[in-house]
Amino acid sequence: MRSLLVVGADHLGLIPNKLSAVGFDKILHMDGRKAQKIKKNIPSDITCILVLTDYVNHNLAKSIKERAKDESIPIYYAKRSWCSIYQAMKYAV
C-alpha cells in the first residue's frame, strides 16, 4: 500500500483523484496555514510526503522536512498544479 501526506493548500480539488489514478492508495491532507499543525506527528503508515510550496507556512514546511528526514520518508516539493506535482513526483509514481 502506498500512502501520501499532502501538506499545504486549503482545498485540493481534483488532485487526490489524480494521485489515486497514478497509484496512491491512501492520501491524507494537512492544510499548511496554521502553525499549530507543527505539533502533529507524521502518521506511521505514510510512505512519502508532498509539500505544496505556494500554500504552506514556512515553519510547518521546515518541521515536516526535519521529521521526514528523521523517519527516512521521501519528501517532494511542488506548486499546487497537477503538472508541477506530477513533475516533482514522477520518480515516486
DSSP sequence for 39-78? GSPPPTT--EEEEEGGGB-HHHHHHHHHHHHHTT--EEEE
Question: Would residue 28 count as lying in a domain?
Answer: yes
pLDDT value at position 49? Answer: 95
Specify which residues 52 forms β-bridges with.
Answer: 78
pLDDT digits (tens, 9 = 90+) for 21-63: 999 999 999 887 766 666 667 888 999 999 998 888 888 888 8
**Counted domains in the chain:** 1
- Of the ranges 33-37, 50-54, 67-71, 80-84, which one carries the lowest mean pLDDT score? 33-37
Question: Would residue 7 count as lying in a domain?
Answer: yes
Question: Would residue 93 count as lying in a domain?
Answer: no
Which pTM was predicted? 0.89
pLDDT value at position 33? Answer: 73
Domain of 30, CATH number, reads 3.40.50
pLDDT value at position 35? Answer: 61
| β-pairing verdict for 48-52 and 75-78 | parallel
